Amino acid sequence: GSTNISASLGGISGSTSLTVSAPSLVSISVTPVGLTLGIGINQQYVATATYSDGSSADLTSGVAWTSSSSSVATINSSGVTTTVAAGQTTITASISGLNDTSTLTVVAAQLVSIAVSPAVQSISAGTTQAFTAVGSFDDGSTQLLPSVTWSSSLNSVAAVDATGLATGVGTGTATITATSGSVSGTASLTVTAATLVSIAVTPASSSMAVGTTKQFTATGTFSDSSTQDITAVVVWTSSSPAAATISAQGLASSVATGSTTITAAFGSVNASTGLTVSTAHLVSITVAPANPRIAKGTSIKFTATGTFSDGSVATNLSGVSWKSSKPNIASVRGSGLAHGKKGGTATITASASGVSGNTTLTVGTGTLVSLVVTPSAPTAAAGTTQLFVATGTFSDGSTQDITLNSHWSSSSASVATIANAPSVAGLANCNNAGTSTIGANSGGITGTALLTVQ
C-alpha cells in the first residue's frame, strides 16, 4: 500500500510518499529431486517459490502438477505421486507462467506388505497416538511410507487423521489401517475409560538463550496407573509472553531476557515449570556444510549453528530464514534444503534475530555416470545392522553422496533387508546367516556390495 511520511520542526514541515509493494514471484523449485522409488509408493512433492526480495516459501495452492508418463507415476492436484510401473517420468509444477521439473525413476520393486507401529497400543479417551507405516518390497527393501491412507474400523472409538495421528473418542478397541494401493497393514488401538490424575512437565526449571527454542513434554498419569505422552493434547501457556512464547505443540521460543512459567493443562488438571531466558544473545551464525559442491538436479541440506555471547553454541535457533543470492542457480527452502538448478555458484544465507551467516554453494553441470557402494564386502552378525553409502561420480569428475536419492535393495530378504529414505537410507537389518547382494540404483545407474551375515 501507500502512505505519506511527514516531518515538522518549528512550523516548517515536509512530506513524501512511500509505496510498499509485495515481492514478486521470480522462480519455483520442485523437491525432492532425482528420486528412485519402488512400485506402489505415494510420494509428496513440494513446489517452493522464490521471490524478488530473495525470500522463499512453500506453495500450498495454485500449483498445477503433471507427470509426463502417467503409466509410470500419476500425480494429483496436491502434488502426491503414486508410482505405477517401472520406468521414468518427469514431474512438473507450474504457476503464473513459471515451472520446474524433477525426474522420478521407478524400479521394478513391488510393495508386498505394510507394518503399522505400534502394533498394539492402549490410550485413554481424549488423548492421541501417532502411528507409522513401513512398507516391505519384493526386492528385500523397506521404506517408511509417509503418504498412506489411514482409516479406523470404529470412529466412535478412535478417529485417525491423514498423518496417522489417532484420537481416542470412546471406550473400546479399533483397528487402525494404513493402505497404499491394494496393500494394507493394521494395528490395534484400545481406548480406555481411565481419567487423568496428574501431569509432569519436562524439562523442569530450565533456561535458554534469547533467540532459541526449547521443546517441552507433558506426561500424564492416569487413574489406572498408566502413563502417556500427552504433549499434543494439553493446552500450553506462558505466563510472560514477553520473555518466551509457547506453541500448541509445546515448543517454546525465547523473546527477551526474563522469567516465565510454562503451564500444561488438560481439563481441570495442570502442571507448570519455570523457564529463565538468560542474557546470552546470538552473535554469529555458521552455515554447514561449508562451501559444498553438488551436481545439477540434486539437493543438499544446510544447517545453521548459532554462537552466543556466553560462548555457547546451539542449532535450535528461533525463526531461521534461508535465502539464495541466485535462485536461478540454486534455490533454498525454509528448512535449509537447497536444490541445484544449473551450473554456477550461489551464496546461501541463514538469518535469525538480526544475525546472518552464509556459505557458497557450487552447482556442477555433470551427469551421473557411475555409482559405488561402500563398504564393498562387510561381515556382520545376525541381529545387528550395517550401514551402506552410495557415492556417485559425475561426468565433470566430481563425486557426491547420493545415498538418499538411491533405491536400495537386497537379493535375499531372509538374510538382510535394507531401508530406503526417508528412513535411514542404506541401513541393512541383518536377519540370518548367509550372503546377500546389496544394490543401489539412482536413475538407472547401479552399484552393488556383498553382505555376509554370520
Cell numbers at 183, concatenated: 496393500
Residues 179 and 204 in one domain: no
Q: Count, in order, helices (H) and strands (E) of the chain.
A: 0, 51
Dihedral of CA atoms 348, 352, 354, 355 in degrees, nearest 10, equals -60
- Would you say residue 1 lies in a domain? no
Domain hosting residue 356, numbered range:
282-364
CA angle 195-200-206, nearest 5°?
A: 160
- Would you say residue 13 lies in a domain? no
Residues 75 and 115 in one domain: no
Q: What is the amino acid identity at position 287?
A: V
The region that residue 46 occupies, defined by phi over 0 for left and psi between -120 and 50 for alpha, beta otherwise, is: beta
Q: What residues pair up with 337 in beta bridges, in sequence order?
A: 301
- Would you say residue 3 lies in a domain? no
Residues 147 and 135 in one domain: yes
Q: Are 245 and 271 in contact (CB under 8 A)?
A: no
pLDDT tens per residue across all 454 residues of the chain: 889 898 988 889 888 988 877 788 888 888 888 888 899 888 899 998 888 887 778 888 899 999 999 999 999 999 999 999 999 999 999 999 999 999 999 999 999 999 999 999 999 999 999 999 999 999 999 999 988 999 999 999 999 999 999 999 999 999 999 998 889 999 999 999 999 999 999 999 999 999 999 999 999 999 999 999 999 999 999 999 999 999 999 999 999 999 999 999 999 999 999 999 999 999 999 999 999 999 988 889 999 999 999 999 999 999 999 999 988 898 888 889 898 888 999 999 999 999 999 999 999 999 999 999 999 999 999 999 999 999 999 999 999 999 988 999 999 999 999 999 877 899 999 999 999 999 999 989 999 999 999 9
CA 399/CA 294 separation, integer angstroms: 8
Q: Are 151 and 179 in contact (CB under 8 A)?
A: yes
Q: Which residues contact 10 (CB under 8 A, 6 or more apart)?
A: none
Closest CA to 116 of 129, 135, 138: 135
- Would you say residue 312 lies in a domain? yes
